[in-house]
Structure 1
Amino acid sequence: MQTVTRYFEDHAVGDRRVSTGRTITESDIVLHAGQTGDWFPHHVDAQWCAEQEFGQRIAHGTLILSVAVGMTAGDINPASVSYGYDRIRFVAPVFIGDTIHVEARITELRDHRSRTDVGFVDELVTVTNQHEAVVLVLTHLYLVQRRPAGDPA
């Protein structure tokens, strides 16, 4: 990981980051089920799933959310913290063996309502599979420090 300090003023609407691929495995699903306690048969019961709409096990939406966010977290930015996620949508299933890719694009820069030392950076995160089908979308909100007075750009 790399440490890169980016202040609020260093971000621009339209800036984007694109990840490499990550293949979702059966181990990912089993580990996530164990960590969360979500043993819903859609995720872990191959025989039951064979008779259902998708015909096979699907990854937990929360697993794909977690993996996708991790795939875009390659830089450590000490001037920025995650403030949360909005408008999370699990658009299509992810199956064992699917490879996902992530694009994160800044869509908005906003002032904080009560603080002048920080601002919000909204990033639209789009996750696609190996067929370029969108499987997940969300908005990741960051709380980002403004450049200190006297700090050159």
Structure 2
Amino acid sequence: MSHALYLEDLQPGQRFESRGRTLTESDLTMFAMLSGDWNPVHVDAAFMKESRYGQRILHGLLGPAVMTGMMHTLGIFDGSAIAMLDVKELRFLKPLLIGQTVHLELEILSVRETSDGQRGVVDRLFRLVDSEGVTVQEMRSAVLVAKRG
């Protein structure tokens, strides 16, 4: 059974929350391999031991990937999303750390039908929140969503 929401199911102010996910050493390594970003702040434990964080930090751009993955686990856009249109106002508020557990809080900001009447644009606010309730990253992103049928 699908949990997909279509344009007419969405309205400003709706909120969704994912389960938690612990960020791991493997996440850091895989993202470094994929991106080619081997900056010492991410991969040199001795260098970062003396830093203000006392440990390596995960790549900031891993956050949006984790947020969109967590959104997928909610199932709300499975089969109804047509295309992500943008990412804007991406903010890195706190570092992502190995061993940190985070979850997604997703809010629908606006919903509007396109001129063809077959779909619409949904603007969303993504918040990546740690286990202490602190928002570590946030971004806005619009998605093109189908209407039912």
| TM-score scaled by length of structure 2 | 0.89
Q: Please give the secondary structure, in 2, of the residue aligned with 1:137.
A: strand
Residue in structure 2 matched with residue 27 of structure 1 by the alignment = 26
Runs of 4 or more off by more than 4 Å in structure 1?
A: none
Q: CA RMSD in A?
A: 1.7
Residue in structure 1 matched with residue 146 of structure 2 by the alignment = 145
Residue in structure 2 matched with residue 9 of structure 1 by the alignment = 8
For 1:52-107, what per-residue CA distance to the aligned partner results, in whole angstroms no more than 9, with x for missing partners?
Answer: 23221111111122112101112153222322322111111011110001110101
Give distance in 1, aligned partners of 2:34 and 2:138: 23
Q: Please give the secondary structure, in 2, of the residue aligned with 1:73.
A: helix
Alignment check: 8 A CA contact 2:72 2:78 kept: no
Gap regions ≥5 residues in structure 2: none
Residue in structure 2 matched with residue 131 of structure 1 by the alignment = 132
Decide whether aligned partners of structure 1 residues 130 and 5 sit closer, same or farther in structure 2, where only a CA change above 3 A counts.
Answer: closer
Give distance in 2, aligned partners of 1:5 and 1:49: 43
Residue in structure 2 matched with residue 51 of structure 1 by the alignment = 50
Residue in structure 2 matched with residue 108 of structure 1 by the alignment = 110
Amino acid at match of 1:108: S
Between stretches 74-83 and 93-102, larger displacement belongs to: 74-83
Give distance in 2, aligned partners of 1:88 and 1:3: 30
Gap regions ≥5 residues in structure 1: 149-153
Larger radius of gyration: 1
Residue in structure 1 matched with residue 61 of structure 2 by the alignment = 62
| TM-score scaled by length of structure 1 | 0.87
Residue in structure 2 matched with residue 151 of structure 1 by the alignment = none
